[in-house]
Structure formats: structure tokens, C-alpha cells
Chain A
């Protein structure tokens, strides 16, 4: 069914979600929240791809979305494993504890 949503609105929404994701990553100190915000950012980009795909009626948008999903899944699994390990070693999930890699 045809829908007449203008593409800018969707892009705007994706942009907004993306910015909210970044804000989440910067503001929160707990690693899990940062991971969540990263998920939000991924979704935002997925949205942008799908919107573009549907705008040009090309399947590429959705194919990219699928790849993003795959990547997100892999990323989350490793991210969570890292979180487990960090929690195991440092007994806390504060990002500022991980400061060894300094100049």
C-alpha cells in the first residue's frame, strides 16, 4: 500500500535516534547502558537504510538492514562476553575503571 511519508521525516527520525544513541554512550558510565545506546544507534542506521531502500524501491536497503542485524548480533554477543569478563575481573561495570590504555 502506498504511503506518503516524506523521506526527510524518516531521515530526521533516524538522525534523532542516532544522536540519542550517542548521547547515551557519552552520558552513561555503566557499560551495559553504553551497549544499549550502541544498539539504538545501530537501529537508527538500519532505519535510514530501509527508508532509502523503500524510497528508491530497491531491495538493497533491506539487504543492508539484514547485514546490520547480523553484525549487531555478533557485536552484542562479543560485547556481553566482554562485559562478563570485565565484571569478573574488576568487580564493577564502571567504564572509568578501564584506564590502562593511556598515552
Chain B
């Protein structure tokens, strides 16, 4: 099955080329078939490869296929090699499967858009780059996928280019992720000079030999890679771009800003786990960043009125959970949460997209309402997604993945109670804003009329995703629910076991605490937004609450901070130096020469007597020199 591997990324690439080059001359039906078809085909091929991978696992634990040597310069010869092992199999499966569903959905969603072929071209290019990122065997190829993904997110966020705000959001996304990419590039240089190669398996093999535990270089490299991951996965310092990235169409937000691209950072850290294990400080920083982000993003999500921005902040928060899991060494839990999160977040975004389209592109949740019986399918699928997001115990898949992270945050070797407590608080806030969203959108009286009912093409993917959001959790049950850990057995071929603290046994208590926090969140939201809305009016009076509201609403003021700290100075320098101060230097030279020649020409006064006088003075000077010598 090894030789089929190259088909998975090339199919989307081929369909991208077809659509990009001949997009205009192909009818809309064919565009849909090529666009969605290619991704579904590669999903099917992935299934085939996956089955063969699981049924008879290869000896080396991975499939590897070298297409050609990218370049050969002295000691540096990266090859274009596709490398599939357990970790990348899961990622490829998620990307292609959810990608296919989203493509099918967007056939219906983008039906009346005029740039139909350009949309599918960019989406296919995105799937290709993401697959390349995940299947890359050396860091340079990974970097190629990394930047390709950044490019596609830029193209798709700014898809409706008439409105300059979309263009601005797209550029903001690209530049902030580019900051992260540059840090990662420097990390690549350090790795190359430490190990002489960029091939990931070699790097991971040589790292423990060359660096001892807690080595200074290990921490530097880990932090640089983390910076790259933080940029792409919109974690703490560089998370301001994701809420603005909601300017793109909903399928884009679903695919790129929920399921796949934003988790590229998680993949990178999981893939380079050896380096992170070598420097506990770096791993602790990953955990801290994860926790801080989940807390901040959770609170910001609480105050948003635009349905897509709520989901954006919730994505940042959930990825914070994954970073927390990676930070405390719960590698499999992070990947498990990634898979589950991909399902229910894609579902939520697609359902939100359907709601927005039904209400004539109305984004403000407070103007929606009463859709429960008008859009039943959307309601039920949205309910399942929210339940999974809020981690409703036992039923939803979200519970199993998030509960595992909470458990390891406490029980793992490098976990500590503070991280666990904030994570618990985060779970409570998540439940709060999810229920708030549900109530505002589906209950209460309808404020805007339904314009257009979503077609079959849009509802079928929703139902499939809803099914997975419910039942996908059962492939990894906690210990006390019967030892059924299919998922982590697969992953332990690649990622190390999570080392637990000694003498920890009662997981049950933590599960109960987690479910209590979820129920508490749901109940509180129910009280505030359904039972007694007047409580909110009372809250609005108190000045402090309103300041807090605006502070959280603006994403804890990061946007203003970066604006003042970075954007203003550069724009200022650019404006004052518009026509090149160095040029002034040369204009100065010309000015001096002109001034000089003018003063000399003044001596040509034209009067004969002045010239003879000059003659005499010259003679005197010459004679005096003669005398002196």
C-alpha cells in the first residue's frame, strides 16, 4: 500500500491546478465534482492505506515514499519524502475525512457565489499543503506545507475581496503566523547546525545523544519550535488573528480555523516530542501557555455577540487544552482531543454557517432566536456539537477527551494542581458560553425571518459529523470505565506513554468534579439567559461589570497592545522616511556644488578693470611665493 501514499496529496494538487488554470471554462457542476471529488477520493485512499496500516503494520512502523531529491547542496540534501506513521495517519485521516465533508457542504453553501472555482481551487490547495505538512519526513518539507497552509488561509480569509476589512483580516492572519514561522525557521537553522540534517527521524534519534537532559540548546530549539506552533495555532502571544479570520466563508472557518490548520502547532510539538522531553522548562512553558490561553479565550468567548467569533475564541480555548496536555506530557490525550475537537468544532462551524445563511447573513446572536422548530436538523446537530464542546458527561465524545486532559493535568508526572484547577474553571466557562450560544440562537422568540432552508448537501455532512461527535469518544475510555484504549495503543508506537505521579488512583473523583463543573455551567447559563434575563440588565448597571465586559470582548486588549507596541512605530517610521533620508545625502551634495558654482560665477563681473586687478593680484602672489622660496 506504500506506493498509493503519493496519491493522497497529489489528488488535491491536481484538482487545484485544473481549477486554477481552467476554472472559468469548467461548468459549476464539474467544478464541484473535481473540487469535492478529489478530496473525497484521497479520503477513500487514506482509508485503504489506514486499514492496511492497522491490519498489517509495517516493520519500521511507517510507510515512506521518496518522490525526488529536492536539492543537494554540500551536507544539506532534503528530499521530497512522504512519511506516514501512526501520528500522521490520524492527522491525514482527520484532514481528508473532515475535509471531504466540508467540501461537500461547501458545494451547497457556496452555490450562488460567483468565484466558485477560485474557492474550490484554494480549498484544494489548502488540503494539499496540510497533507504535505503532516506527511513531510524532513522539517524543510514540513516548513513548505507550513507556509503553504498560511498562504491558503490568507487567500480564503480574504476570499470576498471587495470588502477591504476582509483583506485586512487576511493580511493580519498571514503576518502574525509569519512571525511564528520566522521563529520556527531559526529553529530549523539551529537544528541543522546541531545535527547536520533536517530529517525528522534522524533528528529525533540524535537529539538524546547530543543533548543531555535540560541542555541549553535543547530548550532554545524547543522554544523556537513552540513559537512556530504558537503562531500557527493562535496561542497566547499570537492569537489575535483567529477571531478576525472569521471574515472568511464558514466552510473555510470550519476546515482551516477549527479542524486542521490551527492544530498544526499541536502536530509539530507532538512530532518533535523528543526535543520537548529533553527540556522540561520548555514543556512547562507549553503547559503554561496552553492554560493561560484556554482561560483568556474562554472568558473572551463569553462576551461575544457574533456567533462565529464565539466559536473562534472557543477554538483557541480548546487548542489551549491540547497545548496543556502536550505540556504535561499527555501526548495521546492531546491528539485524542484534537480528533474529537476537529469533529464537533467543524460541525458547529458548519451549522453556524447554515444558520447565518438562513438568516440572510445575520451574524449577531441577539438578533437570532426561536430556530428550534424552524430548522430542526440544524438544531439537533448544533445541540450534539455543543454538548460535545461542553463535554456533557458520558454521552458526548468531548467529555472523554477533555476529561482525560483534566485527569492527566493533575495526575501526570509534570502536571500540578494549579493547571488542573484553571483547566476545570475553563471547562466550566466552556459549558457556560456553549449553553448561552444554544439558548440565544435556538430558544426565545424569532427576531429575523428564515430566508432560505439549507439543502440536502449541507445537512448530510452535519448529520455524519454529529454522529462522530457523539460516538467517536468511545474508542478511548478512561480506566475506570473498562480498559478500552484503542486510540492510545495505536499512538504509543510513535508517542511516549504518559508517566503518572506515584500513588494516584481515584480517577473517579476527577470525573465527577468535571461533570459537576459542566452541569454548573449549563445551569448558570440557563438561569441567566432563559429563566431571568433581568439579571443581565442588573449586571449591565454596575460599571465594573461593563468595563470587564469590554475588556474581555476585545480579547483582553491584545489587539490594542500590539497596535500601540508594534504597528504604530513601524507605520510612523515608514511615513517620516517616505522618500529615503539617504537620498537627502546625495541631494545635499548637489546643493553644495550648485551653491559653490554660483558664488564663483559672481566673480565674472564683466568689468575689465576687475580682471586686470585680478591679473595684478595673481602676479603679486606669484612674485611673493618666489620671494619666500
Contact = CB atoms under 8 A, between A and B. Distances in A.
Interface string B605-629: 1111100110110000000000000
Interface stretch (A3-11, A71-79, A94-102): A94-102
Contacts of B603: 103
Interface residues of B, number: 14
B604 interface: yes
Contacts of A96: 607, 609
Contacts of B605: 99, 102-103
B623 to A, nearest CB: 11
Secondary structure dominating the interface of B:
helix
B602 interface: yes
B587 interface: no
A98 B607 CA distance: 7
Interface residues of A, number: 13
A98 B610 CA distance: 12
A95 B607 contact: yes
Interface string A26-54: 10010000100000000000000000000
B616 A102 contact: no
Interface in A57-99: 95-96, 98-99
Contacts of A25: 609, 612
A26 B606 contact: no
Contacts of B613: 26
A13 B584 CA distance: 61
A47 to B, nearest CB: 19
A34 B613 CA distance: 13
A20 interface: no
Contacts of B615: 22
Nearest to B601: A103
A34 B611 CA distance: 13
Contacts of B600: 103
B604 A95 contact: no
A26 B600 CA distance: 22
A90 to B, nearest CB: 14
Contact of B608 (A22, A98, A100, A103): A98
B35 to A, nearest CB: 78
A29 B602 contact: no
Nearest to A28: B609
Contacts of A102: 604-606
Contact of B609 (A26, A100, A103): A26
B609 A22 contact: no
A29 B612 contact: no
Contact of A101 (B602, B606, B612, B616): B606
A17 B479 CA distance: 129
Nearest to A31: B608
A56 B347 CA distance: 123
Contacts of B602: 103
Q: Kindly name the residue among B601, B603, B616 whose own CB sees the greatest number of chain A CB atoms within 10 A.
A: B616
Contacts of B608: 34, 95, 98
B615 to A, nearest CB: 8
A25 B606 CA distance: 16
A19 B435 CA distance: 114
Contacts of A34: 608
A64 to B, nearest CB: 21
Nearest to A102: B606
Contacts of A22: 612, 615-616
Interface in B132-150: none
28 contacts: A22-B612, A22-B615, A25-B609, A26-B609, A26-B612, A26-B613, A26-B616, A34-B608, A95-B607, A95-B608, A95-B609, A96-B607, A96-B609, A98-B606, A99-B605, A99-B606, A99-B607, A100-B606, A101-B604, A101-B606, A102-B604, A102-B605, A102-B606, A103-B600, A103-B601, A103-B602, A103-B603, A103-B604
Given A95-B608, A96-B609, A103-B604, 19 more contacts: A22-B612, A22-B615, A25-B609, A26-B609, A26-B612, A95-B609, A96-B607, A98-B606, A99-B605, A99-B606, A101-B604, A101-B606, A102-B605, A102-B606, A103-B600, A103-B601, A103-B602, A103-B603, A103-B605
Q: When A and B form their complex, which 8 residue pairs have the shortest distance between CB atoms, in order from nearest?
A: A103-B604, A102-B606, A103-B601, A99-B606, A101-B606, A95-B608, A26-B612, A25-B612
